[in-house]
Each structure stands twice: as structure tokens, then as C-alpha cells.
């Protein structure tokens, strides 16, 4: 007769041995996985990214359910990014989330990657998933607000940043986000107020100074923008340089100086005889070209400057700075007319100088008169960024100078 108890005893011993063997094998695989992970990290630090990928994959394959697997996926994604293999990095993060769908950090990392690729819909989904796992995370709320900003949903962004402020009133990120919203909406005074509050909370957050400068520049208050650049220069010269370039780009071009050596004396007043200006005008009907050189304060669009129809030469009117032509007195019959457009304009981009050539013609009686001090030269062109002339410095006359 068969000994049942003995068979059961042997069966139990076999099961125990099998369990022990599996446990032992799992531990060995986990150890090998850990070693592969360590080698991968070493390769990554030595910038041997291809070798690092192999080791991180090996670590995952050897022990796909171990506690180090998430770390291996994270390093694998980071390594792929170093190799500019963004789609592979995305796959690595997604594989990690299949293993640990409740890992909010991985959702955020994937969202950040999507955001950097301008894939805002996918980024928004991941940020919202992370927030569902951690609803009061101000950093994740801030990132979601950045998606709203990037997609033009300013009201949504404002709501998110106000939530950050309600959750953490002493944290600067909510106020900084609000400043960004207001800047996007063209509410520059409100934006400056929020950025200034950020500085009160975190004095070394110099990006707020940069944003204040941007807001002032967009508002047209260039001098105030430059004050912020001075502050930045003492702490972050690179950032100050970027802001200075932006100010240069958005500021309106203007006349910086005017000079001539051609004999057109713009300081002479009403009823000046042409013959007194130049002996060539002693002859009836004589014509002479004069040159006026206008120095601009920034790089200009060459075609715009050299187009004669972007310039106007006129007599000063009542609304012109410097007074009316001939000081408002009756204009004599001997007064000559100048063409409203120059004959030609040559622009030198190296000296930022426009050389304007215009012509004056004597009358048939050789007694022509003119009021050089009230001849106005005005320019309607644009710079290389498409900005039109500053109306406060787009014209010149001998009396008003640059106005």
C-alpha cells in the first residue's frame, strides 16, 4: 500500500525547493539588473550614450518588475534625449507609466518633453493627469498655466495662477504667471505690478526684471526699460544683453543727427536770396543740387530709406515744431518752391546715414527767395524689423532741429 503521508512530504519539500530556487533566481537577476543600471549610469556620465542605452535596456530586461526599473526607464529617456531621439524618449516614459501609472513625476517629465516639442495638447493631458494625482502641486499648476499661455487661453491661465496664489500666497510663481498673462494681453501696467511683486518676494529672481523691461519696451517707455537693463547688468550680463537686443528691436527708429557740407544753410531765415546762398543762382533758371545727411539710431531697411517717396520736403506749417514758414508773414512772389520729394537717397548701412539729394531752381528773374530755416525734411520709412519712425524724431528743420 502506498504511503500517502510520505508522498505529501516529498511534494511539499519539492514546492519549497522550487519557491526557494525562484526566489534565488529573482534575487540574482535583480542583482545583475542593478549592475547593468550602474554601468549605464557610468556610461551616461562619461557621455558614452550608445553604451548607456544598451545597459539601461539590459537592466530593464533582466528585471522588468524590480524597483530599479523605473529609474532605468528614466535614465533611458534622458539618454535618448542626449542622442536627439525624442520619440524613443517618449516611448521610454510611456513604458515607465505602464509599469507605474500613478507616478506623477514621470507624467510631469513626459509633459515637459511634449511642451518642449510644442505638442501642447499631449502636454496638457499629462499635466492634468499629474494634477489628478497631486491636485495641490503649485509647480504642476504653473506648468499647466504655461500650456494655456502658449495656446492663447489667457483666461484659463489667469485662473490657474490665481489658484496658485490662493494655495501659496507667499510663493512667487503665481504672481509671475499672472504677469506673463497680462503681458500677453497687452496690460503692461498690470504686468509690471505683478513682476514687481515677484521681486519683493524673491529678490534674486532676475527674470522678473527682464520681464519688466520687456513690458516697458512694449509700452514704448524705452528709458524705463533701459533702467531695468542696468539692474540686470550687475547680476546677469547674458540676460541683460538679450533684453537690450529686444529693446533695440522694438524701439522706433529716429533721427540722431543731421549735417551738410553742400551749402544749404538751414540757419538762414525768411526771404533769403538764393544768390546769397550760392553764386550759381546769379543766373536765371539755374539749378543746383544740395545734400542733407541724416544719421539714424538703428539699422534701417535699405529699400525703405532709398525710396524717395518715403521722404517729404515741405514748408513748415502752423503745427510743425519750430514755427510756421516765413514766421507766418505773407510769402513774397519771389519765393521759390522745392519739390516735395528728393531726387535720390543713398543709404550707408555702416554709418546708418541717409544722404538725401534735393534740387533748388532759381526763378526767371534771378531774384528768388527762400526761408531755409523753415524747410522741413521728414522720413516715413522703417527699420529692418519693420518698425516705423518715432513721430517725436522723424523730421528736421533749421529752427526745430530734430523733432
Which string of DSSP letters, residue by residue, matches 122-179?
HHHHHHHHHHHHSTT-HHHHHHHHHHHHHTT-HHHHHHHHHHHHHH-TT-HHHHHHHH
Q: In this predicted structure, what is the pLDDT of residue 7?
A: 43
CB 398 within 8 A of CB 373: yes
Decide: 299 and 352 in contact? Cβ < 8 Å. Answer: yes
Give the pLDDT score at 27. 60
Among 299, 133, 67, which residue's Cα sits nearest to residue 59? 67
Closest CA to 82 of 53, 55, 108, 123: 53
Which is nearest to 334 in space by CA: 291, 383, 275, 280? 275
What is the pLDDT, as a whole number, of residue 29?
Answer: 66
In Å, how far are 126, 141, 213, 218, 268 from 206, measured between CA atoms?
30, 22, 11, 19, 53
Nearest-CA neighbor of 113 among 97, 127, 131? 127
Helix intervals (H) in 202-355: 207-219, 222-233, 237-250, 274-277, 302-306
pLDDT at 14: 56
pLDDT of residue 24: 54
The answer to whether 376 and 313 are in contact (CB under 8 A) is: yes
* The CATH number of domain 25-250 is 1.10.10.920: no
Q: What is the pLDDT along the chain (403 residues), one digit of tens a residue?
A: 445 444 454 455 454 554 454 455 556 767 888 888 889 999 999 999 999 999 999 989 887 877 789 999 999 999 999 999 999 999 999 999 999 999 999 999 999 999 999 999 999 999 999 999 999 999 999 999 999 999 999 999 999 999 999 999 999 999 999 999 999 999 999 999 999 999 999 999 999 999 999 999 999 999 999 999 999 999 999 999 999 999 999 999 999 999 999 999 999 999 999 999 999 999 999 999 999 999 999 999 999 999 999 999 999 997 767 889 999 999 999 999 999 999 999 999 999 999 999 999 999 999 999 999 999 999 999 999 999 999 999 999 999 999 8
pTM exceeds 0.95 for this model: no
Cβ(185)–Cβ(153) under 8 Å? Answer: no
Amino acid at each position: 500500500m502506498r504511503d500517502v503521508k510520505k508522498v505529501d512530504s516529498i511534494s511539499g519539500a519539492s514546492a519549497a525547493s522550487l519557491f526557494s530556487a525562484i526566489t534565488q533566481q529573482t534575487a540574482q537577476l535583480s542583482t545583475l539588473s542593478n549592475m547593468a543600471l550602474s554601468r549605464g549610469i557610468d556610461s551616461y556620465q562619461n557621455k558614452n550614450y550608445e553604451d548607456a542605452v544598451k545597459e539601461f535596456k539590459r537592466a530593464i530586461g533582466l528585471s522588468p518588475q524590480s524597483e530599479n526599473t523605473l529609474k532605468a526607464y528614466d535614465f533611458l529617456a534622458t539618454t535618448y534625449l542626449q542622442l536627439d531621439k525624442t520619440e524613443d524618449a517618449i516611448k521610454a516614459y510611456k513604458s515607465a507609466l505602464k509599469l507605474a501609472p500613478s507616478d506623477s513625476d514621470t507624467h510631469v517629465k513626459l509633459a515637459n518633453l511634449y511642451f518642449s516639442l510644442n505638442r501642447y495638447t499631449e502636454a496638457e493631458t499629462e499635466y492634468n493627469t499629474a494634477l489628478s494625482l497631486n491636485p495641490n502641486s503649485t509647480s504642476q499648476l504653473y506648468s499647466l498655466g504655461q500650456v494655456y499661455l502658449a495656446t492663447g487661453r489667457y483666461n484659463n491661465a489667469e485662473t490657474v495662477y490665481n489658484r496658485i496664489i490662493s494655495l501659496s500666497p507667499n510663493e512667487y510663481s503665481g504672481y509671475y504667471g499672472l504677469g506673463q498673462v497680462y503681458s500677453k494681453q497687452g496690460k503692461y501696467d498690470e504686468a509690471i505690478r505683478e513682476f514687481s511683486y515677484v521681486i519683493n518676494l524673491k529678490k534674486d529672481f532676475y527674470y522678473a526684471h527682464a520681464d519688466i523691461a520687456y513690458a516697458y519696451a512694449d509700452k514704448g517707455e524705452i528709458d524705463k526699460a533701459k533702467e531695468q537693463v542696468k539692474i540686470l547688468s550687475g547680476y546677469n550680463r547674458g540676460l541683460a544683453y538679450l533684453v537690450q537686443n529686444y529693446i533695440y528691436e522694438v524701439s522706433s527708429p529716429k533721427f540722431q543727427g543731421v549735417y551738410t557740407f553742400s551749402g544749404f544753410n538751414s540757419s538762414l531765415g525768411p526771404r533769403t536770396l538764393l544768390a546769397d546762398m550760392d553764386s550759381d543762382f546769379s543766373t536765371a533758371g539755374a539749378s543746383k543740387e544740395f545734400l542733407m545727411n541724416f544719421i539714424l539710431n538703428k539699422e534701417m531697411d535699405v529699400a525703405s530709406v532709398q525710396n524717395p517717396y518715403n521722404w517729404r520736403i515741405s514748408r513748415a506749417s502752423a503745427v510743425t515744431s519750430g514755427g510756421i514758414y516765413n514766421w507766418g508773414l505773407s510769402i513774397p512772389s519771389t519765393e521759390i518752391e522745392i519739390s516735395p520729394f528728393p531726387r535720390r537717397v543713398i543709404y550707408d548701412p555702416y554709418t546708418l546715414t541717409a544722404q538725401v539729394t534735393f534740387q533748388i531752381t532759381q526763378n526767371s528773374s534771378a531774384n528768388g527767395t527762400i526761408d531755409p530755416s523753415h524747410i522741413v525734411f521728414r522720413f516715413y520709412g522703417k527699420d529692418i524689423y519693420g518698425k516705423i519712425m518715432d513721430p517725436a524724431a522723424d523730421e528736421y528743420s533749421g529752427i526745430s532741429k530734430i523733432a
